[in-house]
Chain A
Amino acid sequence: MKPAGGLRPRLVKRLLPSRRIRVAVRLIALLGAFAVAGIFLQATGRGAGAVYRAMWTGSFGSPYGQAQTILAAIPLIFTALAVAVAFRMLLWNIGAEGQFYIGAFGATAVAYSAPDWPRWLLLAAMVVGGLVGGALWGLIPGALRAFFGTNEIVPTLLLNYVAILLVDYMVNGPWTDPATLGFPLGKPFSESAILPLVGNTAIHSGIYLALAAALSVSMVLSRTAWGYKIKVIGSNARAASYAGFSIPRNMVAVMLLSGALAGLGGMVEVSGVVHKIQANISPGFGYTGIIVATLARFSPIYLVPMAVLFGALVVSGTELQTLGLPSDIVLMLQGVILFFALAGELFVNYRLVWRAGTVSDHPSTPAPVSNRAADLEQAG
């Protein structure tokens, strides 16, 4: 073998992914995304400075913005938990958006049918309505995957459109508020269907539900036999079935739980923030939840601060809208942050080594067999 001249880059797998680089990648992703979007804003004739200033004021930079940030983080915690739970079994639930809508639908159905119940009872029933609605919507793709082997990615996504149309139908027909003269808004909830606020803040008590959900999911996944079971199924289905774990049954259970979590998010949103049902109750919480969960490496605990960060992004979009500035920039930013993070992941798991190239530069030692589960785990 003769040197082919010059240095050539080679990727060498790290034995342990570098934690330091991972943190650095997240930070660079954030800064890089704002830089790229800033250049784009300038190039298309908008002042990046004005847009970013408005975004800061609308999120972390004012007491009002801070409260709004937390309010937006709450639904994101639920949708990101939904994604994280499903991913434990290597299922891609990209239908949290639809499950969120159907959860809101279920909670609303309860709120409208028993408006006079005492608050504690009605809220408890609405929680059940949200859980059941979301779970049913998650059950459909879960059962199709478990019993027919239909890959869940496309069905979970297409069901989002169906869910949104279903809510659209309800708010334009059976649930429409005659007082709004044809706007797609439902009738206002009764007093007892509304989640109380925390102290004298603008934040509703759904935040306790969100944090409790994150803690319980974390406990279930890392401390119970079932949590271990689904992890085994996710990383090695064959080993799991030899161990006697029922894959279809657990798949259905995981998607029920995943959908229920997103559905609870929908309940909390209509009961805590909107106080009625309406079209467009979610500015894409289900999709942003995927980004949140991915960047948090599907950890139910880490996704909480990540949800706060992305909650700030979401509400800064609302601020831009009220100022007549382009709010779509917020979605672009979310995409670009993820692009950078995904690209950076390579350097978390591999070292770049510059060596003199050879004509036939193949490793002679057998490399470890690439494991699909491990590959997917690196996705975050």
Chain B
Amino acid sequence: MSSELIITIFVAGIAAGTTLVFAAVGEIIAERSGVLNLGVEGMMLAGAVTGFLVNRQVRAPWLGVAAGISAGATLALLLAVLVVSFKANQVVTGLALVIFAIGMTGYLGESVVGVPPPVTFNRIALPGLSDIPVLGRIFFVQDALVYLSYVLVPATWWILFRTRTGLNLRSVGESPETADAAGLSVTGTRYAAVVIGGAFAGLAGAYLSLARAPSWVPNMTAGRGWIAIALVIFATWSPLRAALGGYLFGSVEALGFRLQTVGLEVSTFFIAMMPYLFTIVVLVLISRGSVQRRLAAPSALGNAYLREER
């Protein structure tokens, strides 16, 4: 493989990975508060269709992104009501949300399937930075939402690990009893974390339908929400590692499509399987030495908190 080809793979890998990065960072915020949000896939779909529809109406991609974010957050609020207030099982609730969202987005997007969007996000070469050899072309000739991710990822890390807000959020995920006794609101923190996480998932979806593959196709997330959940474990609940992992997973996705252009005789169906198989293999590899990983997982992840039952 020529170095030129490798660079194009990474350029596409960053773009493909950004969806995963947004979704995984959102999931990290929710899981750090103790809520396993398995509805990411559905929230991404909601973000994708809403972003696309709004952009089509108002011809302003940033408004589309804002709409996508709100759609993701709205579905997340629904999830929070069920799992935080009604103490519903987090696995079933997440699945129910995905099924609901597949139906809802299919319904809402029916009239725009395959319609090209009026305006999309285009690639912008950042002056100065894009002149850095190799890395400049990979990281700094991307669209505005990719640059947004460069800001949001470290910012999330900073908030989670270097501020009181982040400490409070993590303590709710580690030991809600202690957090409650210390006067923190477990319910409030979890609502906030889940809704912000959903906003990120909505952003991930809007990125897909407005920048990565500007269009709306039913079910266009194609399992990326689930890959993002796997990515969270891979990243041991750290936004920075999630970004690295996201670009790695994205490059695997990009690699498949490049392989075809260089004339490799592999059926598209097998190439399309690669990201799923790669994710499973990675999950297996990381669960082997899983002691640190189990320690990294928020202790109260997946458990509803009832003050009456402490």
Point out residues on A near B: beta carbons under 8 Å.
10-13, 44, 92, 94, 144, 148-151, 153-155, 157-159, 161-162, 165-166, 168-169, 172-173, 284, 287-288, 290-291, 294, 326, 328-336, 338-339, 342-343, 345-346, 362-363, 367-368, 370, 372, 375-376, 378-379
Contact residues in B for A173 (Cβ distance below 8 Å): 267
- Contact of B103 (CB < 8 Å), options: A148, A335, A367: A335
- Of all A-B residue pairs in the complex, the 3 with the closest CB atoms, nearest first, are A335-B100, A331-B103, A379-B89
Are the CB atoms of B304 and A375 closer together than 8 Å?
A: yes
Q: Is the CB of A346 within 8 A of B87?
A: yes
Could you give 22 example pairs across A and B, Cβ below 8 Å? A11-B308, A13-B308, A144-B283, A154-B280, A155-B280, A158-B223, A158-B276, A159-B276, A165-B272, A165-B273, A290-B92, A291-B99, A328-B107, A331-B99, A335-B96, A335-B101, A338-B96, A339-B93, A339-B96, A367-B310, A378-B89, A379-B89
Residues in A with CB closer than 8 Å to B230 are 154, 158
Provide the bound-state CA to CA distance between A13 and B287, in Å: 37
B95 A290 Cβ-Cβ under 8 A: yes
Binding site for A on B (CB under 8 A): 38, 78, 81-82, 86-89, 91-93, 95-97, 99-104, 106-108, 110, 222-223, 226-227, 229-230, 233, 267, 269-270, 272-273, 276-277, 279-280, 283-284, 287-288, 290, 303-304, 306-310
State whether A291 and B96 are in contact (beta carbons under 8 Å apart), knowing that A150-B287, A165-B269, A339-B82 are contacts in the complex: yes
**B304 to chain A: closest residue by CB:** A375
Indicate if the CB atoms of B89 and A342 lie closer than 8 Å.
Answer: yes
In whole angstroms, what is the CA distance A168 to B270 when docked?
Answer: 10
Q: Which residues of B contact A151 (CB under 8 A)?
A: 233, 283, 287
Max chain A CB contacts within 10 Å: which of B96, B97, B223, B287?
A: B96
A50 to chain B, nearest CB (A): 15
Q: How far is the CA of A329 from the CA of B108 in the complex (A)?
A: 10
Residues of B within 8 A of A326 (CB): 107, 110
Provide the main secondary structure of the chain B interface: helix
Give chain B residues whose Cβ lies under 8 Å from the Cβ of A144: 280, 283-284, 287
Contact present for B229 and A332 (CB under 8 Å): no
Residues of A within 8 A of B93 (CB): 339, 342
For A148, list chain B residues within 8 Å (CB): 284, 287-288
When distances are taken between beta carbons in the complex, the residues of chain A under 8 Å from B91 are 92, 153, 379
Q: Once the chains are docked, how many angstroms separate the CA of A52 from the CA of B200?
A: 35
Question: Which secondary structure characterizes the binding site on chain A?
Answer: helix
Residues in A whose Cβ lies below 8 Å from that of B78 = 339
- Nearest residue (CB) in B for A149 is B287
In the complex, chain B residues whose CB is within 8 Å of the CB of A346: 86-88
Contact A155–B267 (Cβ < 8 Å) = no
A229 to B105, CA, bound (A): 43
Contacts of B101 in A (CB 8 A): 335
Bound: A144/B226 CA distance, A: 17
| Sample of 12 further A-B pairs with CB below 8 A, known A331-B104, A335-B97, A343-B81 | A94-B95, A148-B287, A155-B283, A157-B223, A290-B92, A328-B106, A331-B103, A339-B78, A342-B93, A343-B88, A346-B86, A376-B89
Residues of B within 8 A of A92 (CB): 91
Across the interface, do B283 and A339 meet the contact criterion of CB distance under 8 Å? Answer: no
Nearest CB of chain A from residue B257's CB, rounded to whole Å: 15
Please name all residues of chain A whose beta carbon is closer than 8 Å to the beta carbon of B309 when the two chains form the complex. Answer: 13, 367-368, 370
Bound complex: CA A121 to CA B264 (Å): 42
Are A10 and B308 in contact, CB atoms less than 8 angstroms apart? yes
Contacts A12-B308, A169-B267, A367-B308 given; indicate if A342 touches B103 (C-beta within 8 A).
no
Tell me if A328 and B92 are in contact (CB < 8 A).
no
Q: How far is the CB of A365 from chain B (nearest CB, A)?
A: 11
Task: State whether A379 touches B92 (Cβ < 8 A).
Answer: yes
Which chain A residues border B95 with CB–CB below 8 Å? 94, 287, 290
B107 touches A343 (CB 8 A): no
Name the residue on B nearest A329 (C-beta): B107
Inter-chain contact A154/B229, CB cutoff 8 Å: yes
Chain B hits for A169, CB < 8 A: 267, 269-270
A162 near B92 with CB under 8 A, answer no
Find chain A residues with CB under 8 A from B288 CB: 148
Inter-subunit contact A158/B92 (CB<8 Å): no
Chain B nearest CB, measured from A373 CB (Å): 12
Q: Bound complex: CA of A173 vs CA of B267, how far in Å?
A: 9
CA separation between A353 and B283, bound complex, in Å?
45
Which single member of B82, B100, B104 contacts A343 (CB below 8 Å)?
B82
Q: Which residues of A contact B304 (CB under 8 A)?
A: 375
Identify B226's interface contact among A158, A329, A378, CB under 8 A: A158
CA distance A244 to B107 in the complex (A): 52
Residue of B nearest to A41 (CB): B107
Contacts of B223 in A (CB 8 A): 157-158, 161
Q: Using Cβ atoms and an 8 Å threshold, which residues of chain A touch B277?
A: 158, 162
Instruction: Check if A336 sits within 8 Å of B100, measured CB to CB.
Output: yes
Q: How far is the CB of B84 from chain A (nearest CB, A)?
A: 12
Question: Chain A's nearest CB lies how many Å from the CB of B129?
Answer: 36
User: B219 CB to closest chain A CB, in angstroms?
Assistant: 10
User: Are the C-beta atoms of A158 and B310 separated by less than 8 Å?
Assistant: no
Pick the contact of A332 from B87, B104, B272 — CB < 8 Å?
Answer: B104
Query: Complex: how many Å from CA A165 to CA B233?
Result: 26
Complex: chain A residue closest to B280, CB-CB:
A155
